Amino acid sequence: MVRIAYGQHVISSDGHDVGTVSGLVADAGNKRITRLAFDQGFFGDERMVAISAVTAADGDRLTLDVSKETASLLPIYDQKERVFKPRVIEPPIILPPGGVGGPVMYESATTGTGWPGGNIMDTAPFDPPPVEVVSNLEDFEVRLEKGTDVVASDGQKVGTLDEIDLGDRGEIDGIVARAGFLFAHDVRIPGSEIAELDDKRVLLGVNRNTAEQHRV
């Protein structure tokens, strides 16, 4: 079993400190950890490495089987917000009236529909442009960060993610949830009691009372 804690120093195979653990990438389907993200510091990028590259984790150190040079060439974790093009509203058109009275305004210049009898100074309807967060993770992958909420099956927050114990092939043997609103103590939850993983929470398959029995 390998215990990974956020903030651990990541050491290359040739003994160099190449960053600190900043995130873990999991397959949401089988709930296995696939990759590890490490932050190279203020002037460096956040890079990702296959979890199989981790050879040992001891205290505040985690060792990889890649050299410092190879670590600097690993894929960069990329996440950004993308703004979609806002809805385009046609300008109103003024058509001559069919009878007595002033001009009639229409929203659509093509169909002559909408806003009959409206005022040209009226504020056009506005929808804020939708924003989507995109990253270079696969569609089935989720990123687990320090502080991710750990939630019981009854909706109660157990605490926040702090450590993950890994078994063979990246299986999650257990997690440590630091004390939150629900408990005054930390709990170590077995991996078998994790129901779902997503970018915002770890959902347990057990309720508050069961989770409380795993006091650290």
* Per-residue model confidence as pLDDT tens digits over 154-194: 999 889 999 999 998 899 999 999 985 555 688 999 999 99
The pLDDT value given to residue 52: 94
Number of H helices, E strands in the chain: 2, 18
29 assigned to some structural domain: yes
Q: What pTM does this model have?
A: 0.71
Residue 137 domain flag: no
Name which residue leads in pLDDT, 201 or 43. 201
Q: Which uninterrupted H or E stretch holds 58?
A: strand 54-58
Assigned domain for 14 exists: yes
Cα–Cα distances (Å) from 43 to 12, 46, 149, 187, in that order, read 18, 10, 29, 36
* Per-residue confidence band for 215, with pLDDT thresholds at 50, 70 and 90: confident
18 compared with 138, residue with greater pLDDT = 18
pLDDT band at 81 (very low <50, low <70, confident <90, very high): very low
Q: Residue 116: inside a domain, yes or no?
A: no
Mean pLDDT to the nearest integer, 124-150 = 76
Instruction: Mark which of 46, 61, 79 sits at the end of a domain.
Output: 79
Look up the CATH number of the domain holding residue 8: 2.30.30.240
Residue that finishes a domain, picked among 29, 44, 79: 79
pLDDT band at 209 (very low <50, low <70, confident <90, very high): confident
**One-letter amino acid of 164:** I
Which of 62, 79, 96 is a domain's end point?
Answer: 79
Whether residue 152 lies inside any domain: the answer is yes
What does the pLDDT read at residue 181? 54
Q: Does position 119 have pLDDT exceeding 80, yes or no?
A: no
Which residues pair with residue 75 across a beta bridge?
none
Domain that holds residue 157: 145-212
Longest Cα separation, the chain: 89
pLDDT at 67: 97
Q: How many domains does the chain have?
A: 2
Q: How much is the average pLDDT of 211-215?
A: 86
Any domain includes 204: yes
Considering the domain boundaries, does residue 156 fall inside one? yes
Could you give the dihedral angle defined by the CA atoms of residues 191, 196, 198 and 200, in that order, rounded to the nearest 10 degrees? -80
Residue 99 forms part of a structural domain: no
Alpha-carbon distances, residue 112 vs 12, 96, 102, 109, 121 (angstroms): 69, 11, 16, 6, 18
